[in-house]
Amino acid sequence: MTDPDDLLRYPVLTAGQTGLKGKCPRCGEGPLFDGFLQTAERCRRCDLDFSFIDSGDGPAVFVIFIVGFLAVVGVLMTEVIFTPPIWLNMLIWMPLTLVLCLIFLRPLKGLLIAQQYHRKAAQGALQDEDGHGDA
């Protein structure tokens, strides 16, 4: 996945510098996404093949935990401080929760993809007792 010559050709960038911005994890300039959450096939600038990408449900899980916590705390604080009717609480917090999910999802997906690239993460494989190949 990563070529040793990459260190000579491209600057060393952290996952936060590239992933949160939705940029290529190798060069930091080409776009990582083709659409809102659809990843590109390769980087337009450095031609890195993005076929290694497998973020799975990881970004969604983090978003659920972060936004869920913020929404629950916000609803409880609103309820205790202002005591609005339930319909008003729902009118405020349901759309806000949806918007927060959409805001957090893309940067977190980019961050997890960049981490996957920098740590050379790949599918696991079974090894025999000697530590070679599939068992």
Mean pLDDT for the chain overall: 89
Core vs surface per residue 102-123: b (16+ CB within 10 A) or e: eebbbbbbbbbbbbbbbeeeee
pLDDT per residue as tens digits for the range 37-92: 999 999 999 999 999 898 889 999 999 999 999 999 999 999 999 999 999 999 99
Residue extents of the structural domains in the chain:
6-51+65-118
Report pLDDT for 55: 82
Residue 110 has pLDDT above 60, yes or no: yes
Outline where 10-135 has alpha helix (H): 15-19, 58-82, 86-118
The model's confidence at residue 126, banded by pLDDT at 50, 70 and 90, is: low
* More confident site: 70 or 10: 70
Which tokens go with 68? Answer: 């869920």
Maximum CA extent, the chain: 66
Contact 117, 52 (CB under 8 A): yes
pLDDT at 75: 96
CA distances 41 to 14, 47, 68, 78, Å, are 21, 9, 32, 44
What does pTM read for this prediction?
0.82
pLDDT (0 to 100) of residue 9: 80
Higher pLDDT, 6 or 47: 47
> Quick one: what percent of the chain has pLDDT higher than 90?
72
